[in-house]
Structure 1
Amino acid sequence: MLSCREEVLAFTKQLVNIESIVNTDGEKVIAHSLYTLLTSFPYFLENPTHATIEQTNHDDLERYNVLSFVKGTKGNSNRTVILMGHMDTVGIDDFNQLKEFACTPDELMRALRDEELPSTARDHLDSGEWLFGRGVLDMKSGLASHLYLLKYYSENPDQLDGNLVFLAECDEEDGSHGVLSALKTLKRWKEEHQFDYVAAINADFVSPRYEGDENRYIYKGTVGKLLPSFFITGAETHVGSCFEGLDPNFIAAELTKQINYSPELCNEAYGETTVPPVSLKQTDLKPSYTVQTALSAYVYYNFFIHSWSPKDVLVKLKEQATIAFENALATFYDRYKAFCEISGERFMPTEWSSRVYTFEEFEELLISENGAKYSSHMDAFKAELLLDTSLDTRMFAARVVEEAWKWMKDKSPAIILFYSSLYSPRIELSGKSEVEQNLIDAVETAVKAIQPTYQYPIVTRNFFPYISDMSFVALSDDEEGIRAVSDNNPGWGTKHFVEYSDIRDINVPVINIGPYGIDAHKKLERMEMTYSLEVVPNLTNEVIRELISK
């Protein structure tokens, strides 16, 4: 067992003290600070080319990744383990009057003693076994664990029959520009140094899965995340003649009723089930108040997957959207008829029917109807739209569909289904290849070795349940699944682009061994120190030893 608690704790506090909120200059500051620290280690003073700080690619902001590697001297193996973790955090506004202490754990905990706290948080604070502060859990203590192991093997390369790569990436909490940029460096090192990447170990946080859950989890593979989005058109009318038109918000409400919290849209694999989709935005696209009903509405949903591909999700959601559209029309006609009965007005229904297109189908229809003139117009429109830096990828995609709709010859109500944001791929670690099985075996051996030293159960599961950069070091999707993402994202190639081929070129099995705690992304974010500072580094080290050090 490595005696690492105090050193990992010191690294944790050093990292937490640097406010590194995503999409702020703090990301730049922490990268340079970490690089300065890392290159002060004797190994990197002697081997300066083994460490680098690199700016992200295709990024609107200036920020950096820090990467380094240690080459073992025990043998001649090229087997290489990647230790990865992110440097950025979410914001600190939720700390309110304690905001000035958010990144100084010791001062924060002193201040919290005078606060009204939930009983569990109070017990943790009083125990002396928990560390509070922004980023202590998500995930600077995990990064500190990796930093400790990098330093340890830089001082003891004779214990390493292979190589260790350290990756500290930025922008995990938003667009994953960090890890996507780092892939090119990992690929270059693979060619230059003949690194044989046999595993990646992420160190993102783990938490109880339910109240009273005392397990500490190791995750093999990770959940995937999509953002299916719907542009909905109706038929505009004056609100005083409401039944002469169709409100797109009415269809949107029915769509959310159909999709939100639906168990039918939970994806089960290997005995584990994703949480159902839930809406993250629902709005009409009217710029200001008028007494005309909205021309269009826009809604998108978080959607987790374990085994479904992005193409599978489109098929399922097109079916769900059709059901919702038909339900909305049926309710509309029923209410219109009932209104006519009580008002004495004549029932004169418009013969609308449900129309649902994927963006790919929508594009093909518009090109067939309008030809090159449409394509040229949309290329110019997107180029101009890129100048509006206030638009994120999601609203950019919506504006593209809104503009494309103007070219539609049949303007009767419709739903356009598309993806409007980054796809974080699902990763299955099933043992289907030798390299996957070796990692699974190494995890099992590590748990058996460390479990007797720790009081709570260390349990393995198949899918990390939160979005993380684990998604970008391997691909379980085939080319058809990835094409469903690119062909159905209106901003693809302009506002949004991912070189998924870079992921496939690395394609290394990945696990998560990270700090344990509660309330990540909340004011009372905290991590349990014994597991996070002692067990995590030793578990990770056992996996490294099983894979490349023996």
Structure 2
Amino acid sequence: MLQCREDVLAFTNQLVNIESIVNTKGEKTIAQYLYKFISAFPYFSKNPSHMTMSQTIQDEHERYNVLAFVKGTKGNSRRTVILMGHMDTVGIDDFNHLKEHACFPDQLMAALKREELPASAKEHLDSGDWLFGRGVLDMKSGVASHLYLLKYYSEHPEELDGNIVFLAECDEEDSSHGVLSALKVLKSWKQEHGFEYAAAINSDFVSPRFAGDVNRYIYMGTVGKLLPSFFITGAETHVGSCFEGLDPNFIAAELTKQIDYNPELCNEAFGEITVPPVSLKQTDLKPSYTVQTALSAYVYYNFFIHSWSPKDVLVKLKEQARIAFENALNAFDERYKQFSSLSGEPYFKHPWQPRVFTYEEMEQQLVMEHGDTFITHMNQFKESLMEDKELDTRMFAARVVEEAWNWMKDKNPAIILFYSSLYSPRIELSGKNEQEQALIDALNQAVESIQPAYPHPIVTRNFFPYISDMSFVALSDDEEGIEAVSNNNPGWGTKHYVEYQDIRDLNVPVINIGPYGLDAHKKLERMEMSYSLEVVPNLTNLVIRNLLK
């Protein structure tokens, strides 16, 4: 067993002390610090070409990844394990009056002793085995674990029959520019140094799955995440004549009722099930107050997948949207009849029918009707939208759909379904090939070695349940699945683009062995030190040795 607790704790504190909130200058600062820190290792003083600080590409922010590798001298194996983790964190505003202490664990814990805390948090604070602070759990202690192993093998390359690559990436908490840019470096090193990537080990945090859950989880593969989005048009009317039009917010509300928390939209694979979708935004697109009903509404949902492809999700949600639209029209009709009965005013049957299109279907129709005139206009419109740097990918996509809708000849109410953000691909690790099975075996052997000396069950599951950069080192989707994303994202090629071929070229099986704790992204974020600083580095090390032996 490596006696690593104090070193990993020291590395964790050093990283946490650097405020590296995503999309701020702190991401550049922490990369520079880490690069300088690793450069001082004697191995890298002698081999400066074995590390790099590389800037992200196609990124509005200046930020960097830090990559380094150690070539083992025990044998001539080209097999290589990637150790990956992100340096950025979410913001610190939730710390309120304790904000100045958020990145200084000792100060924060001293201040928290004077606060009223939930019983479990107070117990952890008093125990001496929990570290509090922004990034201690998500996921600077994980990066520190990998940093320890990089340093160890830089001092003991003779123990390594193969190679390790250390990757500390930026921008995991927003758009994954970091890992997507790092793929270029990993591919170039593969060619230049003959690396045969055997596996990637991520070190993102793990937490209990439910109250009272004492398991410490290791994950093989990861959940996929989509952001299905809906542009909803109605029929505008004055609020004093409300039944002469159709409020798109009414349809949007019915759509959310149909999709939110719907167990039919949970995806099962290998006996594990995703949580159902939930809305992340619901709004109309009126720019200011008027007494007219809105022309359009916009709503999008988080959607996790284990085995479904992005194309499968479009098919399922198109049907859900049709059901919601029909329910909304039926409710409208019923309420109109009730109002007519109460008021004595005549009832007129509405002319609308449920209409649902994917963005690809609408675009194909418009190209057929308007040809190059439409294509040229939309290209120019997207370029003009790109000048607004405050417009995020999700609202950019909505504006593109809104503009395209203006070209539709039939303006009757409709729902347009599309994707408006990054697709984080699902990854399954099933042992379907020799490389996957080798990683599974190496992990199982490592757990069997460590478990007897650790009091809590170390349990392996198939899908990491949170969004992570694990999604971008392998690809389980076929071309058709990826095309469903690119063909239905209105910002594709302008505001948003992912070189999925880079992921397919790397295509390395990945697992997650990460620090254990609670309340990531919250004020009481904390990690258990015994597991995170001792078990995690040793488990990771055993997997490396089992893979490379």
TM-score (norm. length: structure 2): 1.00
Query: What is the SS of the residue equivalent to 2:416?
Result: strand
Contact map agreement 2:175 2:422 (CA 8 A) in 1: yes
Unpaired segments ≥5 residues, structure 1:
none
For residues 57 and 85 of structure 1, the distance between their equivalents in structure 2, rounded to whole angstroms, comes to: 19
Number of the residue aligned with 2:56: 56
Indicate whether 1:144 and 2:147 are aligned. Answer: no
Indicate whether 1:41 and 2:33 are aligned. Answer: no
Q: Which residues of 2 match residues 61-460 of structure 1 at below 5 A?
A: 61-460=61-460
Letter of the structure 2 residue corresponding to residue 480 of structure 1: E
Number of the residue aligned with 1:523: 523
Contact map agreement 2:333 2:350 (CA 8 A) in 1: no
For residues 440 and 13 of structure 2, the distance between their equivalents in structure 1, rounded to whole angstroms, comes to: 32
How far residue 102 of structure 1 moved from its aligned partner, in angstroms, is: 0.4
For residues 517 and 6 of structure 1, the distance between their equivalents in structure 2, rounded to whole angstroms, comes to: 18
For residues 71 and 544 of structure 2, the distance between their equivalents in structure 1, rounded to whole angstroms, comes to: 13
Deviations 1:220-267 (A, max 9, x none): 000000000000000000111101100000000000000000000000
For residues 110 and 407 of structure 2, the distance between their equivalents in structure 1, rounded to whole angstroms, comes to: 62
Letter of the structure 2 residue corresponding to residue 354 of structure 1: P
TM-score (norm. length: structure 1): 1.00
Deviations 1:376-424 (A, max 9, x none): 1000000000001111000000000000011000000000000000000
For residues 512 and 373 of structure 1, the distance between their equivalents in structure 2, rounded to whole angstroms, comes to: 49
Moved more, 450-459 or 415-424: 450-459
How far residue 349 of structure 1 moved from its aligned partner, in angstroms, is: 2.0
Query: What is the SS of the residue equivalent to 2:404?
Result: helix
Letter of the structure 2 residue corresponding to residue 109 of structure 1: M
How far residue 350 of structure 1 moved from its aligned partner, in angstroms, is: 2.3
For residues 341 and 127 of structure 1, the distance between their equivalents in structure 2, rounded to whole angstroms, comes to: 68
How far residue 326 of structure 1 moved from its aligned partner, in angstroms, is: 0.3
How far residue 279 of structure 1 moved from its aligned partner, in angstroms, is: 0.2
Query: What is the SS of the residue equivalent to 1:481?
Result: helix
How far residue 300 of structure 1 moved from its aligned partner, in angstroms, is: 0.1
Number of the residue aligned with 2:12: 12
Query: What is the SS of the residue equivalent to 2:315?
Result: helix
Query: What is the SS of the residue equivalent to 1:289?
Result: coil
For residues 350 and 456 of structure 2, the distance between their equivalents in structure 1, rounded to whole angstroms, comes to: 64
Deviations 1:266-289 (A, max 9, x none): 000000000000000000000000
Contact map agreement 2:473 2:508 (CA 8 A) in 1: yes
For residues 228 and 456 of structure 1, the distance between their equivalents in structure 2, rounded to whole angstroms, comes to: 39
Contact map agreement 2:85 2:139 (CA 8 A) in 1: yes
Query: What is the SS of the residue equivalent to 2:428?
Result: coil
For residues 334 and 524 of structure 2, the distance between their equivalents in structure 1, rounded to whole angstroms, comes to: 50
Instruction: Report % sequence identity.
Output: 79
Letter of the structure 2 residue corresponding to residue 152 of structure 1: Y
For residues 237 and 8 of structure 1, the distance between their equivalents in structure 2, rounded to whole angstroms, comes to: 64
For residues 332 and 108 of structure 2, the distance between their equivalents in structure 1, rounded to whole angstroms, comes to: 55
Instruction: Give the 4+ runs in structure 1 shifted more than 3 A.
Output: none
Deviations 1:437-476 (A, max 9, x none): 0000001000000011111000000000000000000000
For residues 389 and 518 of structure 2, the distance between their equivalents in structure 1, rounded to whole angstroms, comes to: 35
Deviations 1:170-204 (A, max 9, x none): 00000000000000000000111110001000000
For residues 389 and 278 of structure 2, the distance between their equivalents in structure 1, rounded to whole angstroms, comes to: 27
Query: What is the SS of the residue equivalent to 2:188?
Result: helix
Deviations 1:104-134 (A, max 9, x none): 1011111111110111100101010000000
Equivalenced residues, count? 549
How far residue 371 of structure 1 moved from its aligned partner, in angstroms, is: 1.1
For residues 401 and 108 of structure 2, the distance between their equivalents in structure 1, rounded to whole angstroms, comes to: 47
